[in-house]
Amino acid sequence: MPSGPISVDTHLADILAQVRPLSAYPQPLLEAVGLPVAEDVLSPRSVPIFDNSAMDGYAVRYADVASATTDSPVSLPVTGDIHAGAPSAHPLSPGTSMRIMTGAPVPMGADSVVPVEWTDAGVTQVQVRRAPTLGEHVRPIGDDVTKGDVLVRAGDMLDPRRIGLLASVGIDQVVVPPRPRVVVMSTGAELVEPGRALHPGAIFESNSFLLTAAVRATGAVAYRARSTSDDPAAFLEALEDQLVRADLVITSGGVSKGTRDVVKMALRSEPAMQFRQVAMQPGKPQGFGFVGSDRTPLFALPGNPVSTYVSFEVFVAPALRRLIGRSPVSRPLFRARLTEAVQSAPGKRQYLRGQFIADQDGTRVTPVGGAGSHLLAGLGAANALIVLREDRSDVPAGESVPVMLLDREF
């Protein structure tokens, strides 16, 4: 029985319900950047690990220098030098000082540090001209992190700041999922690799470049396969070859209603593949399912470049985030004021290319590029998708609309 198009939300929910996260395992810290940790990470120790100096100066007993002023400096013998990485061999005796560098261990017996700027910088004897407060310029044990503190929680993304934090407590490995390996395949007898000569009727193959770059921008690994012709057997053979290195496959083209819709012809009879019409513009024909003995998820995206890209952002990128256990999986929607009126097809969710600007006057978005889903120049000029819900048709200038920002992984 023919059924009507299905909503974007339903299609996405169906996909997410079937995609299982990859198993996490311990990986070196720098391999984990941009991945979510699979479990809470507790600090194995307190940091600072020992009391250390926050300044270059002199380690002292507060009681010895409490009265120091410019007019009435306190003079103390200097009994040694303490450098970072080299603790003092002896404790500080009352009535003496030791020269100390930033990060060096504060010796036993000292409780405060006088910055060199508050002294005459003496080498064997120092004149202290200003008193610190008790404990001043000493970075005490555990000031930063206490042993057992939760440093990052399960699901937190490992950004450079968190990587630095983990390293600072001595952690060198962290449990994260592997980066999904994604194979990108394009189909079409008309496609020629950029850099090659065009023959009559040929166009340059661009989708696999766009998709490969988009996959990498999510932090996943992408392999770009050469495009295949419109022969289903050749496509299936190429797919079979690629499956060994794929946690997920993306194809573009060959899923609509033409007479040579190769992906659809090749995969239509696969029991775990579904080809659907989704109530969206662009991107109506969508295929999703599982192929091969490992049940590898496969997205069969429409061939028009803008449709392919929008489909990637709306369906594939969320699935990639699910594979690594991220939540939420979809880009957040921000709001921006429309600078021009736009139209949206009623009953469909519309994704318009837009230029988003945030400045002192607030946020606004200007539609760029025409309606055609072959118009890559508009896509190149866009940094956002304007998202118009199914119940919208004419949207006036000045209205605040939801936008998806495309520039970086959130």
Binding site for ligand AMP (CB under 6 A): 186, 188, 190-191, 203, 205-208, 252-256, 258, 302-305
Q: Which partner in Mg ion, ligand AMP, none is near 289 (CB below 5 to 8 A by kind)? A: none
Could you give the CA distance from residue 43 to residue 240 in angstroms, rounded to a whole number?
Answer: 46
Residue number with CB closer to Mg ion (124 or 259): 259
Find the shortest distance in angstroms from Cβ 196 to ligand AMP: 13
Q: CB of 235: closest distance to ligand AMP in angstroms?
A: 12
Least Å distance between CB 211 and ligand AMP?
9
Rounded distance between C-alpha atoms, residue 387 and residue 365, angstroms: 11
| Calpha distance 40→61 (Å, rounded) | 41
Taking the least distance from each CB to ligand AMP, the nearer of 119 and 281 is: 281
Indicate the burial class of 53 (C-beta count within 10 angstroms; 0-12, 13-18, 19 or more): buried
Which residue, 20 or 268, is less far from Mg ion as judged by CB?
268
Q: Binder to Mg ion among 219, 253, 318, 378 (CB under 5 A)?
A: 253
Compare residues 42 and 203 and give the one whose CB is closer to ligand AMP.
203
Task: Please report how close the Cβ of residue 281 comes to ligand AMP at its closest, in angstroms.
Answer: 15
Q: 112 or 281: whose CB is closer to ligand AMP?
A: 281
- By beta-carbon proximity to Mg ion, the closer residue of 188 and 232 is 188
Single out the residue of 319, 287, 280 nearest to residue 301, CA to CA. 287
Opening angle at CA 31, ends 329 and 407, nearest 5: 45
205 binding partner (options ligand AMP, Mg ion, none; Cβ < 5 to 8 Å by kind): ligand AMP
Phi, psi torsion values for 44, nearest 5 degrees: -75, -10
Nearer to ligand AMP, 203 or 358 (CB): 203
Please state the closest distance from residue 165 (CB atom) to Mg ion, in A.
49
305 contributes a contact to Mg ion by CB under 5 A: no
- Smallest gap from residue 380 Cβ to ligand AMP (A): 14
Q: Any contact of residue 302 with Mg ion (CB under 5 A)?
A: no
**Contacting range for Mg ion; rule: CB under 5 A; set: 147-155, 196-204, 252-260, 385-393:** 252-260
Question: Which entry of Mg ion, ligand AMP, none binds 274, CB below 5 to 8 A by partner kind?
Answer: none
User: Which span (76-84, 98-106, 302-310, 388-396) binds Mg ion, by CB under 5 A?
Assistant: 302-310
For ligand AMP, give the closer residue by CB, 177 or 283.
283
CB of 304 to Mg ion, least distance (A): 10
Min CB(285)–ligand AMP separation in Å: 7
The verdict on 188 binding Mg ion (CB under 5 A) reads yes
219 binds, among ligand AMP, Mg ion, none (CB under 5 to 8 A by kind): none
256 binds, among Mg ion, ligand AMP, none (CB under 5 to 8 A by kind): ligand AMP
Smallest distance from ligand AMP to CB 187, Å: 6
User: What does the binding site for Mg ion look like in residue numbers (CB under 5 A)?
Assistant: 188, 253-254, 303
